[in-house]
């Protein structure tokens, strides 16, 4: 990587590294109830017609349309057809059958008169036996009848490959009696944070140590982008320790993200271990997030972010979140435009991603200064303000591109 590499160059590099992994992901069957948010791996064709059988769209009376042409008309009611009724029923011409929504249409009937357009006088002892229904409104053949296959025919496409499965898709599969669906395997992403100073956020702090914010940022970010965290580890700055952890994490993952240890100081463990393995570690024209690296270890792409918490989060938002979201079938487009309400000063030759807070009327204000340790200010922000490479000043009222966090 040359020092002049741009954000787009680096994003392209990562994309090319990850592409073969995506190709090889493959599919797995999952139960429909477990498939929410997964991406269908193949077209699914229906084995059945939908509706499964001809049925009533209304609570009312199944009739022959020809018998109710002139209304009002009184018809003898010869029986009841509730939903779930199993035995086939035949309508006698000139009579009606009381029918419920979803109940199978009787043979011989071609319309349903909704109950609202009828008046029923029950027979002796308030029984349906001997009941008469007076129909006040005529209906044409087919009215309030749901024909078998009118929604979808057997063999038709029920679900297209590449669909991110929402409740409506799963409901359609269920309606067709499908119990399992083939989905794309989710990308397993491993995380290694590095730094001798790190203590897990739920452990005891000691002198000179800090809580590991990046492990939480990356693992939750991976999940939010629809991938799965295979394993998340933390390494000190000892090369042997890092190498051992790296091998374990690579073995369990399709993609690995590291944080820290890629700058130009001493004890830069990620750089020290990965460069001899052919990694490209360098600086790109971006702030925060200048130091970046990539490697392939045992065929697994390793993407190396700098350790400052804001740098890690911005790097993830810019370089991996859109890619992971695309793999997961989530909308990858996460940018928009806003009107500045704070003036901005930026470094020439660096693409800056400043933290912003959006307001009403399409505005955005600066949430903090540009320093990459301001993790609390990052939490107050809801966008990154994307300042182009060559821009040094922006005035209030100018339009900027923002990345929604
Ligand atoms: P490095 O990139 O390793 O040089 O780290 C740069 C800065 O980020 C240092 O101040 C580190 O202490 C801090 N840092 C590195 N990793 C983490 C982490 N996982 N969580 C919070 N801060 C970190
Ligand atoms: Mg470090």
pLDDT digits (tens, 9 = 90+) for 98-114: 999 999 999 999 999 99
Please check whether residues 290 and 392 belong to one and the same domain: no
> What CATH number is attached to the domain comprising 213?
3.40.980.10
Nearest CA to ligand 1 atom 8: 308
Nearest CA to ligand 1 atom 3: 260
How far, in Å, from the CA of 307 to the mean position of ligand 1?
A: 4
Residue 152 lies in a domain: no
Residue 156 lies in a domain: no
Residue 161 lies in a domain: no
Dihedral sign from CA coordinates of 64, 66, 71, 75:
negative
Query: Which ligand is closest in space to the CA of residue 233?
Result: 1
Round the average pLDDT of the chain to a whole number and report it.
Answer: 96
Convert the pLDDT of each residue in 50-91 to its tens digit.
999 999 999 999 999 999 999 999 999 999 999 999 999 999
Q: Please, which contacts does 104-110 make with residues 24 or more away whose CB atoms are closer than 8 Å? A: 104/53, 104/54, 104/55, 105/54, 105/55, 105/56, 105/62, 105/145, 106/62, 106/81, 108/64, 109/62, 109/63, 109/64, 110/64, 110/65, 110/141, 110/142, 110/145
Q: Which residue, of 292, 327, 362, is where some domain finishes?
A: 327
CA 262 to ligand 1: nearest atom: 2
* Spatial contact of 354 and 387, defined as CB atoms under 8 Å apart: yes
> Between the CA of residue 239 and those of 196, 200, 233, 271, what are the distances in Å?
11, 20, 15, 10
Q: Does any ligand 1 atom lie closer than 6 A to the CB of residue 290?
A: no
Q: Does any ligand 1 atom lie closer than 6 A to the CB of residue 226?
A: no
Closest CA to 353 of 403, 398, 396, 301: 403
Q: Which residue, of 184, 210, 237, is where some domain finishes?
A: 184
pTM, two decimal places: 0.86
Residue 373 lies in a domain: yes
Residue 362 lies in a domain: yes
Residue 217 lies in a domain: yes
Residue 2 lies in a domain: no
Q: Does any ligand 1 atom lie closer than 6 A to the CB of residue 289?
A: no
* Spatial contact of 253 and 230, defined as CB atoms under 8 Å apart: yes
> What CATH number is attached to the domain comprising 60?
2.170.190.11
Convert the pLDDT of each residue in 283-312 to its tens digit.
999 999 999 999 999 999 999 999 999 999
Mean local confidence (pLDDT), 263-289: 94
Q: Does any ligand 1 atom lie closer than 6 A to the CB of residue 248?
A: no
Percent residues over pLDDT 70 in the chain:
99
Please check whether residues 21 and 33 belong to one and the same domain: no
Please check whether residues 222 and 292 belong to one and the same domain: yes
Mean local confidence (pLDDT), 354-372: 95
Q: Does any ligand 1 atom lie closer than 6 A to the CB of residue 372?
A: no
Please check whether residues 129 and 42 belong to one and the same domain: no
The confidence band for 191, taking pLDDT boundaries of 50, 70 and 90, is very high
Please check whether residues 310 and 280 belong to one and the same domain: yes
**Would you say residue 344 has pLDDT above 70?**
yes
Domain count, the chain: 4
CA 215 to ligand 1: nearest atom: 19
Nearest CA to ligand 1 atom 10: 308
Please check whether residues 244 and 286 belong to one and the same domain: yes
> What CATH number is attached to the domain comprising 394?
2.40.340.10
Q: Does any ligand 1 atom lie closer than 6 A to the CB of residue 283?
A: no
Query: Which ligand is closest in space to the CA of residue 191?
Result: 1
pLDDT score recorded for residue 177: 97
Closest CA to 132 of 107, 96, 82: 96
Q: Does any ligand 1 atom lie closer than 6 A to the CB of residue 329?
A: no
Q: Does any ligand 1 atom lie closer than 6 A to the CB of residue 79?
A: no
Please check whether residues 76 and 223 belong to one and the same domain: no
The confidence band for 4, taking pLDDT boundaries of 50, 70 and 90, is low
Please check whether residues 80 and 121 belong to one and the same domain: yes
Distance separating alpha carbons of residues 271 and 282, to the nearest angstrom: 9
- Taking the CB of residue 3, how many other CB atoms lie within 10 A of it? 9
Please give the residue range of the domain that contains residue 201: 7-25+186-327
Please check whether residues 129 and 229 belong to one and the same domain: no
Please check whether residues 267 and 244 belong to one and the same domain: yes
Residue 115 lies in a domain: yes
The confidence band for 348, taking pLDDT boundaries of 50, 70 and 90, is very high
Convert the pLDDT of each residue in 236-262 to its tens digit.
999 999 999 999 999 999 999 999 999
Q: Does any ligand 1 atom lie closer than 6 A to the CB of residue 60?
A: no
Please check whether residues 199 and 302 belong to one and the same domain: yes
DSSP state of 67: G
Dihedral sign from CA coordinates of 51, 52, 58, 60:
positive
How far, in Å, from the CA of 332 to the mean position of ligand 1?
A: 28
Please check whether residues 223 and 322 belong to one and the same domain: yes
Distance separating alpha carbons of residues 154 and 53, to the nearest angstrom: 12
């Amino acid at each position: 990587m040359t020092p002049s590499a741009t954000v787009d160059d680096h994003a392209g590099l990562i994309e090319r590294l990850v592409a073969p992994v995506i190709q090889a992901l493959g599919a797995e069957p999952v139960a429909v109830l477990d498939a929410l948010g997964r991406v269908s791996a193949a077209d699914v064709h229906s084995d059945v017609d939908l509706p499964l059988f001809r049925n009533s769209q209304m609570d009312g009376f199944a009739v022959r349309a020809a018998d109710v042409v002139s209304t009002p008309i009184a018809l003898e009611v010869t029986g009841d057809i509730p939903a779930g009724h199993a035995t086939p029923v035949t309508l006698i011409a000139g009579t009606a059958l009381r029918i419920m929504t979803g109940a199978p249409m009787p043979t011989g009937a071609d319309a349903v008169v909704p109950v609202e357009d009828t008046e029923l006088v029950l027979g002796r002892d308030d029984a349906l036996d001997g009941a008469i229904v007076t129909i006040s409104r005529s209906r044409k053949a087919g009215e309030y009848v749901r024909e078998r296959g009118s929604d979808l025919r057997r063999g038709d496409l029920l679900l297209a490959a590449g669909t991110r499965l929402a409740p409506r898709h799963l409901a359609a599969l269920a309606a067709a009696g499908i119990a399992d669906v083939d989905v794309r395997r989710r990308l397993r992403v491993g995380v290694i944070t590095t730094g001798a100073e790190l203590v897990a956020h739920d452990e005891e702090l000691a002198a000179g140590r800090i809580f590991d914010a990046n492990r939480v940022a990356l693992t939750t970010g991976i999940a939010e982008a629809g991938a799965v965290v295979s394993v998340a580890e933390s390494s000190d700055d000892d090369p042997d320790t890092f190498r051992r952890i790296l091998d374990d994490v690579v073995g369990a993952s399709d993609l690995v993200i590291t944080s820290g240890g890629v700058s130009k100081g001493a004890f830069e463990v990620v750089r020290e271990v990965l460069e001899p393995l052919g990694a490209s570690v360098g600086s790109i024209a971006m702030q925060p997030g200048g130091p970046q690296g990539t490697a392939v270890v045992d065929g697994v792409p390793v993407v190396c972010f700098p350790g400052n918490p804001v740098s890690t989060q911005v790097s993830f938002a810019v370089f991996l979140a859109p890619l992971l979201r695309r793999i997961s079938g989530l909308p990858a487009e996460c940018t928009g435009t806003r009107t500045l309400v704070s003036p901005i000063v930026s470094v020439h030759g660096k693409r800056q991603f400043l933290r912003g807070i959006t307001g009403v009327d399409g505005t955005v204000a600066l949430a903090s200064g540009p320093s990459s340790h301001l993790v609390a200010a990052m939490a107050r922000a809801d966008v990154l303000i994307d300042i182009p490479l060559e821009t040094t000043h922006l005035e209030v009222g100018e339009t900027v591109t923002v990345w929604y966090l």
